Chain A
């Protein structure tokens, strides 16, 4: 302000020489370093541009004042020696001249000082801008958009990259309401809830949502933000970052699809192995149907038809038809390629179904089965087909282990119970040769197999199924013969019964 007044008083004429002089002043050595260090020590942010701005202003002002004072003294001294002898002018006019000169020099000193200060300020502003540019560049390189919302003016400030991510023009000024429209209608409630929670808690919050901008494609973005409140606890500002997660999501979805395909393939492969057993499972009801139907035919040919026996024969035909249908339904479910579905599943049912499917295979391999179901239902949230696949894998492995050593068969024990910390637990034990200690740690690795025709996917898929259900799987050798595989899955609490509809 004072600089402006000075410029008005003197006029534009002095500005050029002053600027030139200020260039000369640039050559002046930096202010004494110890002082700067001291100042830095007292100010915790030494690189903060604001702190830097204040110090040079003071030093340049001081320097200019000193220069002006020295100039005035020298002029005053020179006059005393020479001017009075050469010009025999009146003392009063001499004094006036000296005064004007001193004043002029003093003023110019001040102007120098301000000019220097201005230049330094510009330089520091430049530094500040560079620093901001660097920050923005770094943010952009990290694919981060930066933004801030001011509560008082209800306006958004955003970096260019932020606008790029959102796909909105740089020129439009966004308010909270218009920004809300850029959120996909289905996700608005979610975003609003996150905002409310974030403001209420005062903590950093995160929300991922889909965008909804004009004709453009829907994109996934993840916003991380923190709120700033004033001393009266009212909202001043929300600022944060934004990341485009569309590609990340796409890759994730692809990985998931691959996993599902692999799991499906392994299921189909497993059914191939079980085909003999499955044919038997179908054969039983078909045989019963055939025999009952032919019995009924014969009964009708009798002179006295036993209607009660005939009715029972037909009832049995129907029951066996249902049984055959169950086998087909089972098969179809295992063969179907479907995304993971979440439902309430009783592990006892899963175990029974898996044992039903392997029933005749286990008989053929002379494996006797003991199934210890839990006293109460063992509910978990998950996909019954995948869990069945997991158990089928372990049952088939156990049967393979048993028949790899003993020709007179062995014992398979399947137990469902709950752990001490109320998780659900399934154990599949066999009386096979057990697992070699050096193979234990690679057991669940993909393509790791000890079987001549194994792909080495069974256990790795088993593990990913267990993990997808929030559980764990591990193996250990029994104290006596054989090994036991354990699966622990989180219990589904009764309160979450409605999960059946969730996806």
Chain B
């Protein structure tokens, strides 16, 4: 139930703590709540074995030997793993909690932590991961469609999205309206949309700000 790595898309909770008693207890608690749990007793081990493509969240201890939880968070961000993180700490240190949350942590729990709080935090982190992954795969699909466009088609599309008429586009690009119409039809086909409004929505999704999660 807990330590096997599952090849399917079942979300995993990755617990990292250098205290084995805590590892076992959290693993048991989350297991009893129906989560699939994988435990690591050092940040280094976690980094080596971590597969960013496996959905799930990380439950990290703040105070660990060698590398602490916040450093691990930064390291995960460095390698581009956008995994929701729930921190658990033995010290109620406001500065550290602010740093962690600013760096994108989902939650910051203080030991001794109530089981229900822990389960709730992990649940919402997992939900966030599921949602983020869905969004990311959707965006990836849009980008894949976008990548099919030729440079000229992209040019035409920019103008279309900006709300310009075919005539204006033809004028701007130094071509005839008919050619613009052909490009426009191809863009709509490749992007798999029927209306300009839908195309605008798709392009909004590709904006960098939307990609953060």
Binding site for B on A (CB under 8 A): 276, 279-280, 283-292, 294-296, 298-299, 302, 309, 312-313, 316, 319-320, 323, 360, 363-364, 368
For window 76-92 of B, CB contacts with A under 8 Å fall at 88, 90-91
**Which single residue of chain A is at the shortest CB-CB distance from B20?**
A288
Interface presence of B64 (CB below 8 A): yes
| A288 in contact with B33 given A283-B111, A363-B63 (CB within 8 Å) | no
A319: chain B residues at CB < 8 Å are: 21
CB atoms of A295 and B28 under 8 A apart: yes
Interface presence of B19 (CB below 8 A): yes
Interface presence of B114 (CB below 8 A): yes
A280: chain B residues at CB < 8 Å are: 63, 90-91
| A288 in contact with B24 given A280-B90, A363-B64, A368-B65 (CB within 8 Å) | yes
* Interface of chain A, main secondary structure: helix
Interface presence of B177 (CB below 8 A): no
A5 to chain B, nearest CB (A): 109
Binding site for A on B (CB under 8 A): 19, 21-22, 24-26, 28-29, 31-33, 63-66, 68, 88, 90-91, 111-116, 118
A204 to chain B, nearest CB (A): 62
**Which single residue of chain B is at the shortest CB-CB distance from A309?**
B28
| A276 in contact with B91 given A287-B111, A291-B26 (CB within 8 Å) | yes
Q: A276-B91, A290-B25, A295-B31 are in contact. List 18 more A-B contacts (CB 8 A).
A: A280-B91, A283-B112, A284-B111, A287-B90, A287-B112, A288-B25, A291-B29, A291-B118, A292-B24, A294-B29, A294-B114, A298-B33, A309-B31, A316-B24, A316-B28, A319-B21, A363-B68, A368-B65
Bound CA span A280–B21, Å: 14
**Which single residue of chain A is at the shortest CB-CB distance from B63?**
A363
Bound CA span A296–B25, Å: 10
Residue of A284, A290, A309, A313 near B90 (CB, 8 A) is A284
B74 to chain A, nearest CB (A): 14
Bound CA span A363–B28, Å: 26
A287: chain B residues at CB < 8 Å are: 22, 25, 88, 90, 111-113
CB atoms of A286 and B111 under 8 A apart: yes
CB atoms of A295 and B115 under 8 A apart: yes
A284: chain B residues at CB < 8 Å are: 19, 21-22, 90, 111
**Which single residue of chain B is at the shortest CB-CB distance from A317?**
B25
Residue of B33, B63, B116 near A364 (CB, 8 A) is B63
A291: chain B residues at CB < 8 Å are: 22, 25-26, 28-29, 113, 115, 118
A395 to chain B, nearest CB (A): 15
A84 to chain B, nearest CB (A): 137
Bound CA span A99–B113, Å: 135
B26: chain A residues at CB < 8 Å are: 291
